[in-house]
Amino acid sequence: MKILFINNDGGGFADYVEVGEGTTVEKFFHQHTQGRDAADYLIRVNRQPVPRDYVLQDGDRVTMTPTKIEGAAARLLFINNDGGGFADYVEVAEGTSVEKFFSQQLPGRDSHDYLIRVNRQPVPKDHILQDGDRVTMTPTKIEGAAA
């Protein structure tokens, strides 16, 4: 049977391909993207997300779009609990450490005066931030507070 396969990874081609009867989305994915992790892709059949055990049908339209692009910036949810306490999505370069991110967001401040968490967990300063991380920075010393 034939299906239309749209590969949005890299060059992004569309072509009709032959698949065997009973081929699941998971099997098709592994045949056409060897060495890749399905969790890094948005896989749709006929423009709808489907479970991995969905059996492909003649004439189906399958798209595979990567959700992670090598070299791309990571998008983080940054929650600043210092003063105004805003939360916003920000982009950082791939390979950015917590320490570098802190100095970019709170220049002139000392990171020792903050509790810094990533995904609600304390992390070391050399921790590398990942796409989708939730970063909070909460001061441990409040100016003008009595000791």
- Give the pLDDT score at 89: 83
- Which residues lie across from 66 on neighbouring strands? 41
Token pair, residue 144, equals 């003008």
User: Residues of CATH 3.10.20.30 domain(s) within the chain?
Assistant: 2-66, 74-139
C-alpha 68/C-alpha 47 separation (Å) is: 20
Q: Which whole number is the average pLDDT over 65-91?
A: 73
C-alpha 65/C-alpha 41 separation (Å) is: 5
Per-residue pLDDT tens digits for 99-121: 999 998 888 888 888 899 999 99
Task: Using the structure block, give the residue that is written with the tokens 């890299």.
Answer: 10
6 vs 66, higher pLDDT = 6
Degrees to nearest 5, angle at CA 90 with 84 and 95: 125
C-alpha 98/C-alpha 3 separation (Å) is: 45
Class of 74-139 per CATH? alpha beta
- The answer, as to whether pTM is greater than 0.85, is no
Evaluate if residue 30 carries a pLDDT over 70. yes
Which sign does the torsion angle of CA 33, 36, 38, 40 carry?
Answer: negative
CATH architecture of the region 2-66:
Roll (3.10)
Token pair, residue 29, equals 């994915």
Per-residue pLDDT tens digits for 38-70: 777 788 899 888 888 999 999 999 988 877 655
Q: Kindly report the number of other CB atoms within 10 A of residue 76's CB atom.
A: 21
